Structure 1
Amino acid sequence: MKKLLAVLAMLLPIQLLAANWQEGTHYEVIDDKASGKMLVQEFYSFWCPACNAVEPIVQQMKTRLASEGIKFEKVHANFMRFAEPETQDAATRAMMIGRALKQEEKLNSAIFAHIHKKRQPITSMDDLKAIFVDQGVEPKRFDELAGSFSVNSLFSRNNKTLEQNARHLNKGVPAFIVNGKYRAMFTRDMTPDQVIELVVWLAKQKI
């Protein structure tokens, strides 16, 4: 009985919190129809300071979503003012190389660190290649994947998804779109745990 009460005590705040999520304050309905599957998409940019700052929460979110059977996907934006569109597209392609290598998280972190911690510029694909090589990626393998069919397909899919959701990104990034139907909205007083709980709750709504 004591164990049961302890579990209930832990769950109760989450249940009460979920009951308080309000449309217009914590989320926006952006489409009448959902995607038909539980999917959280984070729209972000490597050059975005807020995206860099939220990365630790995103890593926790990914772990939680995976445990709930909810798919998570990063979508890289190319409309930031901090770099040329061609350079941002190169970063998108590099991200897809990392995805193809199954090292996306590690290599994304290296790009973020290069820009925001080391304060080093990225102006070309060669700069991105140097970051990846420093992380142990073979230069030849990087070049092979950069122009491969799989990476080209992933790159095109990223930009198509970005284009389809552009109207929902007018407030900038990072932005979290859930099941293609909801855009999560975070208030200043929310804790990291509450941010994650909101996203999980939205993903579990009827789709």
Structure 2
Amino acid sequence: MKVKYILTLALASALAFGATSVSAAVKEGQDYKVLSGAEASSKPIVHEFFSYHCGACYSFEPMIQKWKKNDRPEGVKFEQVPLYMSRAPHLTYAFYVAEALDVSDKVHPAIFHEWHAEKNVLSTKDSLIPIFKKAGVSEEDFEKAYTSFGVNSKVQYAKKLARDLKIIKTPTVIVNKKYEVTSYNNLNELLGTFALENTK
């Protein structure tokens, strides 16, 4: 697991220095692997499974957000999915609460920052309240959204999707619900032309 963690950080660092231009041609076994028994989605979609406590995810976050803002083709949908963990369910809920209250742009990076830059381990639901308050959300609104049917449905969706795609580590990037990215060297190509051309 430690080796995978170091490798992921190395790949993320490579991406930061422009390694996406190494080659336009992506190869199975080198840049991606096909998920066993999976059927491609009918429309291009990229899922990034992450966890707020994951150091590699924290390093990868600026790169994936840069791709989303500057390089994502119009026809490719992007969806971040927090990997549900039974010992820290509040982190998955936090992601969807922020989404429901339209403060993801403030809360999402703030949670990462608190955990990794400030070394503030957000171990309980209540530890998240100050972050939401800074984003302009009252404790009452936070609690209401946290226990809402909509947020709970999204959490269940995240759990099912991770289970269906057999996600066991983070970050994991899946293209069209069938192809797992194994190298970031050609990330723009994988999440762009490859995604567009490899649907059902």
The TM-score, its normalising length taken from structure 1, stands at: 0.79
Name the aligned partner's letter for residue 34 of structure 2: V
> For residues 1-207 of structure 1, what are the structure 2 equivalents within 5 Å?
17-18=23-24, 20-30=25-35, 31-64=37-70, 66-79=72-85, 85-87=86-88, 89-166=89-166, 169-170=167-168, 172-186=169-183, 190=185, 194-207=186-199
Task: Find the counterpart in structure 1 of residue 9 from structure 2.
Answer: none
Unpaired segments of 5 or more residues in structure 1? 1-12, 80-84
Do the aligned partners of residues 116 and 202 (structure 1) sit closer, same or farther apart at CA in structure 2, a change above 3 Å counting?
same
1:164 Cα shift? 1.1
1:29 Cα shift? 1.3
1:202 Cα shift? 2.5
Task: Look up the SS of the partner of 2:87 in the other structure.
Answer: helix
1:132 Cα shift? 1.2
Deviations 1:122-157 (A, max 9, x none): 111000122211222121111110111111111111
RMSD (CA atoms): 2.0
Name the aligned partner's letter for residue 155 of structure 2: F
Name the aligned partner's letter for residue 176 of structure 1: V
Task: Look up the SS of the partner of 1:17 in the other structure.
Answer: coil
Q: 1:66 and 1:29 mapped to 2: Cα distance?
A: 22
Identity percentage of aligned residues: 31
The TM-score, its normalising length taken from structure 2, stands at: 0.81
1:104 Cα shift? 1.9
Do the aligned partners of residues 111 and 147 (structure 1) sit closer, same or farther apart at CA in structure 2, a change above 3 Å counting?
same
Higher Rg of the two aligned structures: 1
The answer to which structure, 1 or 2, has the higher relative contact order (CA under 8 A, 6+ apart) is 2
Q: 1:69 and 1:138 mapped to 2: Cα distance?
A: 36
Task: Look up the SS of the partner of 1:99 in the other structure.
Answer: helix
Name the aligned partner's letter for residue 130 of structure 1: P
* Paired positions, count: 179
1:196 Cα shift? 2.5
Task: Find the counterpart in structure 2 of residue 4 from structure 1.
Answer: none
Name the aligned partner's letter for residue 121 of structure 1: V
User: Would the aligned equivalents of 1:65 and 1:71 in 2 still touch at CA under 8 Å?
Assistant: no
1:163 Cα shift? 1.3
User: Would the aligned equivalents of 1:184 and 1:199 in 2 still touch at CA under 8 Å?
Assistant: no
1:69 Cα shift? 2.3
Q: 2:59 and 2:90 mapped to 1: Cα distance?
A: 22
